[in-house]
């Protein structure tokens, strides 16, 4: 059996019913994958910056987490993205806590 016989067609991969729609979906998914890579990179950068802030705060006698600031971040995401933005921000904040 050849690879082409076992490989799914683009239409099967995308759930589209026409080749035109399958191509459009395939291209859009490539863009989404690229955006996801950029988002992951930005979150990793945010984690690094957050670690610098936490280390400075702790070394000066402060607490690791500033709850007032976290509430500001949650509000910012909620205002921009609605209720799901709060969940997204909570996940991001969790990723950024305690990395030092």
Structural contact between residues 40 and 73, judged by C-beta atoms closer than 8 angstroms: no
Backbone angles phi, psi at 62, to 5 degrees: -85, 180
Give me the residues of the chain with pLDDT under 70, please.
Answer: 1-7, 98-100
Distance of alpha carbon 23 from alpha carbon 16, whole angstroms: 9
What does the pLDDT look like over 23-43, one tens digit per residue?
899 999 999 999 999 999 999
**pTM for this model (two decimals):** 0.79
What is the per-residue pLDDT for 98? 64
What is the per-residue pLDDT for 5? 44
């Amino acid at each position: 059996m050849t690879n082409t016989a076992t490989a799914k067609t683009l239409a099967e991969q995308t759930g589209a019913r026409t080749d035109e729609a399958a191509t459009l979906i395939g291209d859009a998914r490539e863009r989404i994958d690229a955006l996801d890579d950029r988002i992951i990179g930005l979150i990793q950068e945010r984690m690094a910056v957050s670690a610098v802030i936490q280390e400075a705060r702790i070394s000066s006698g402060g607490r690791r987490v500033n709850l007032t600031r976290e509430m500001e971040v949650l509000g910012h995401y909620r205002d921009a993205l609605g209720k799901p933005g709060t969940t997204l921000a909570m996940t991001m904040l969790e990723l950024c806590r305690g990395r030092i």
